[in-house]
Structure 1
């Protein structure tokens, strides 16, 4: 084996030991909880005026934190979480995984980042929730609908899948370092998501909806990944 290939293999293993220990029931439960939670939130937004009022109040409280420094930070995070950068990063991560010889992991990442946003756009059309009034916006507001937040959904999927792969196939970082990287990923995903509320282009429930839909999509794609790769492992 060439030194470069050997180094790549040592750095990123197959994750076989992790897959042998996986309990599929856990993924099924997580998927069910995410789907039920998302469906319940969607129904409450449509049917419960009291929840809509609370959503507007909380969103207004977040917008009231406005100040020039926070404006700049929020714009930076919302730009980072936009389609162009997220798509470019996804292509980069998939290319890197393929270079490492991790084809199932590349397929997982690409599939998750494709399925999630596609479902998000479908739900937007079905839910038909309008965005906050244009006078609330601190940036040029998007023209599409509001629920769920595409930024929150994409951030959850991108950084969530990244963390999953970090714990699944990386064999070099200590648990403490993995926990640190995971915490950074969570903070970035939350910052991207909340920037949308702060900038006045989403309600808080849109962000929560994006996270819940992201949880459903990710548990589904991870479940497929575990099923396929466990089969390969057991067949060897």
Structure 2
């Protein structure tokens, strides 16, 4: 009973399938592989540069100086607002509200579950990597919204914003028929991610490579979610389309006379077909067997009667000879 209840719950609220062509399914797996591969390459290139303090990481100090020279009061207020929205307090609340509301109103928890899974994975990954790398943040004198002495690589704020925006955009707009709407949604998500990354560098809490590494990790998480969603929900749609209603009639017709077009035509259209070559031969064979059987039975009956009559005559003749004696 518990197993039946769990299966019913799973089929009603978790199972979510979508029919697509085989090419679309293959392309989704290719996209997921490209996202994971590109994200890992970018991240390890940046990580190697940070650890060796050369190449890509050399852009950190010039970018920080350029941004520091362009700080203004109104822009600082805007950047603080962005940081609060994508911060460790507000963003988890937003994700929780979106996930629960989506599951309740859609009466389906597969995509909300993926959203929660992807963002939670990002939180765990960033906590592990920051402690392993142990990179120091920019000087405290550059921080405009309080002091933060934790490690900086990669940025947890930027990774959280990337995961939430990219996963939400994919999970919502991957089901849309119009590709322009999907592209526009990803462009909006990219602009918001860029704003979240810039605000962390502007406020003096991260280096530019911290934000770039977070974006790279987010691509990996997005690729994994795309692969999982494709494997779980995508079903290949038959190119031939739905089976016709009279397919069963065609099967019967094919079994009865696979080489008789008139018979199949009559069975499809509910009419009566003229007797084809196969049926004519079958009828002639049956009639012939019936005639042979009747003739054989008649002959047997005739022989039996004649034999009986002969025996009767012999018996009568014997009786007469007995009387004569």
Shorter-chain TM-score tier:
0.7 to 0.9
Name the counterpart of 1:227: 231
- Alpha-carbon deviation of 1:195? 0.2
Cα separation, 1, equivalents of 2:124 and 2:196: 19
Cα separation, 2, equivalents of 1:51 and 1:33: 16
CA root-mean-square deviation: 2.1
Instruction: State whether structure 2 residue 57 is matched by structure 1 residue 55.
Output: no
Contact 1:146 1:202 in 2 (8 A): yes
Larger Rg: 1 or 2? 2
In the TM superposition, structure 1's runs of 4+ consecutive aligned residues that sit over 2 Å from their partners are: 17-20, 48-54, 174-186
Name the counterpart of 1:114: 120
Q: Aligned ranges for residues 91-130 of structure 1 at < 5 Å? A: 91-99=96-104, 100-130=106-136
Distance 1:18 1:93, change over 3 A: farther
Cα separation, 2, equivalents of 1:145 and 1:73: 24
Q: Which runs of 5+ in 2 are unaligned?
A: 1-15, 238-325
Q: Deviations over 1:183-215 (max 9, x none)?
A: 332222211121000011100000001100111
Distance 1:36 1:177, change over 3 A: closer
Name the counterpart of 2:241: none
Q: TM-score, normalised by structure 2?
A: 0.62
Contact 1:58 1:204 in 2 (8 A): yes
Name the counterpart of 1:147: 153
Relative contact order (alpha carbons < 8 A, sep ≥ 6): 1 or 2 greater?
A: 1
Q: Which runs of 5+ in 1 are unaligned?
A: 1-13
How many residues are treated as equivalent by the alignment?
218
Q: TM-score, normalised by structure 1?
A: 0.84
2:136 match: secondary structure: coil
